[in-house]
Amino acid sequence: MEIGQFVFSGIPRVTFGSGSFSGLNKIVRSYGRNVLIVTGGNSLKKTGKLDTLIADLEKDKIKVSLYSVSGEPSPAMIDHAAAEFRKKPINAVVSIGGGSVLDAGKAIAAMLGEEGSVEDYLEGVGTKKLSGVKAPFIAVPTTAGTGSEATKNAVLSIVGEQGYKKSLRHDNYVPDAVLIDPELMLSCPKAITASCGMDALSQLLESYISVKANPMTDALALSGIKAFSESFLIAIEHGDHDIIAREKMAYASFISGITLAQAGLGTVHGIAGPMGGFFPVPHGTACGTLLAPVLRILADKLISMNHPAVKKLAEAAKIITGIQNGDDSILCAALCDAVDSLTEKAGIPHLCSFGIQESDLAKIAVASDNKSSPAELSQSEMIEVMKGILN
């Protein structure tokens, strides 16, 4: 095997395991006496875990500020929070929630060290350069999907005619510490488990075959794909009590965050980003619907090119389908069929459910790209992909 040259940047300090949430207060107090906790919804409070955490922190004489996030974070939300908490001596920001909550906390921590609006610093939107100064950030995911706990960017969005999804990105924005407790995911609803899980799979597959992949990301991606294949459908059906399935999905999600941060993503995410900016499509849902049809076209292109990525898709197929024999083209076809089946079994909704019509597809395609894919889909091919999953 030829190793070649590659760069692998830092990952956060990770605490992983069931029951590890009880040690979060010890991690927090190592950063100072004033902490901002960012949460979403009421699920954490209903379990009593949030109240217990706050009580433990207050026993340690740590002052707690709370901020609740609803929906995907927007620039306006981040500007409001940053303006409020710049007035306080925040020593650390802790996000406890799904990908949107983690992205919001990451962006707030970043903007505590900057001036002006976050839009001034967004890729493809603003012109100002980030300093990288931020408040220490601790990520505690409660869903298994985005991998935001391992990345250096926070995705912010404005949904509408002129909408967008753009990243606030800096090497210093990788979380300082990550705590992954699968017990926090037991209450995650089936629909969210499904869409987040498909997001994780798309991130693992796209980073695995990315033109920026390297032997380290390959090894990690394969381990994540294996964990996903052993647990995804179980987590959907029995995730309220099957902690092993939740552990494996939590691991798969975290690994997908590492590999995407190191190797990049592909066409699925290149389309899903603009789609989620123009229409209120949850990111995991967009990725889940796009993955199988994009893979079919991509596999055909790679086979015709005799591209080395074909063998990678074949290896992923062996893990996901269990099929060990057959040439690479047969395995690639089996992989596409298996992903299609997973999407159907997971109940991922069609694009028309979010108000997308055939007349909107060209606009989405024009704003899309192929990112680090080993082969490119044309805009007409992107339109055909979306047309096929519209209804």
Task: Return d(Cα 206, Cα 270) in angstroms, integer.
Answer: 11
Tokens matching residue 37: 């906790």
- Please answer whether residues 118 and 302 qualify as being in contact, where contact means their C-beta atoms are separated by less than 8 angstroms: no
Q: What is the pLDDT, as a whole number, of residue 333?
A: 97
Q: Could you tell me the pTM of the whole model?
A: 0.96
Fold classification of 190-388 is: Dehydroquinate synthase-like, alpha domain (1.20.1090)
Residue 222: other Cβ atoms inside 10 A:
19
Tokens matching residue 25: 């207060």
Going by C-alpha positions, the residue among 161, 140, 131, 177 that lies closest to residue 39 is 140
Q: What is the pLDDT, as a whole number, of residue 1?
A: 67
Can you name the residues that pair with 35 across neighbouring β-strands? Answer: 64, 92
CB contact set of 302 (below 8 Å; sequence gap of 6+): 309, 310, 313, 332, 374, 375
Q: Which residue has the tokens 């890729």?
A: 123
- Please answer whether residues 207 and 264 qualify as being in contact, where contact means their C-beta atoms are separated by less than 8 angstroms: yes
Delimiting residues of CATH 1.20.1090.10 domain(s) in the chain:
190-388
Task: Return d(Cα 290, Cα 215) in angstroms, integer.
Answer: 27
Greatest alpha-carbon pair distance for the chain in Å reads: 64
Task: Return d(Cα 307, Cα 36) in angstroms, integer.
Answer: 48
Single-letter amino acid code for the residue at 122? L
**Which class in CATH covers the domain with range 13-185?**
alpha beta
pLDDT tens by residue, the chain, 391 residues:
678 888 888 889 999 999 999 999 999 999 999 999 999 977 788 888 999 999 999 999 999 999 999 889 999 999 999 999 999 999 999 999 999 999 999 999 999 999 999 999 999 999 999 999 999 999 999 999 999 999 999 999 999 999 999 999 999 999 999 999 999 999 999 999 999 999 999 999 999 999 999 999 999 999 999 999 999 999 999 999 999 999 999 999 999 999 999 999 999 999 999 999 999 999 999 999 999 999 999 999 999 999 999 999 999 999 999 999 999 999 999 999 999 999 999 999 999 999 999 999 999 999 999 999 999 999 999 999 999 999 9
Q: What is the pLDDT, as a whole number, of residue 45?
A: 80
Going by C-alpha positions, the residue among 327, 290, 332 that lies closest to residue 309 is 332
CA distances from 339 to 103, 121, 262, 330, 332 (A): 27, 37, 24, 14, 11
CA distances from 144 to 161, 174, 193, 195, 238 (A): 30, 18, 7, 9, 15
Delimiting residues of CATH 3.40.50.1970 domain(s) in the chain:
13-185
Q: What is the pLDDT, as a whole number, of residue 41?
A: 78
Tokens matching residue 188: 């995650």
3 state SS for the chain: CCCCCCCCCCCCEEEECCCHHHHHHHHHHCCCCEEEEEEECCHHHHHCHHHHHHHHHHHCCCEEEEEEECCCCCHHHHHHHHHHHCCCCCCEEEEEECHHHHHHHHHHHHHCCCCCCHHHHCCCCCCCCCCCCCCCEEEEECCCCCCHHHCCEEEEEECCCCCEEEEEECHHHCCCEEEECHHHHCCCCHHHHHHHHHHHHHHHHHHHHCCCCCHHHHHHHHHHHHHHHCCHHHHHHHCCCCHHHHHHHHHHHHHHHHHHHHHCCCHHHHHHHHHHHHCCCCHHHHHHHHHHHHHHHHHHHHHHHCCCHHHHHHHHHHHHHCCCCCCHHHHHHHHHHHHHHHHHHHCCCCHHHHCCCHHHHHHHHHHCCCCCCCCCCCHHHHHHHHHHCCC
Q: Do strands 153-158 and 137-141 pair parallel, antiparallel, or not at all (unpaired)?
A: unpaired
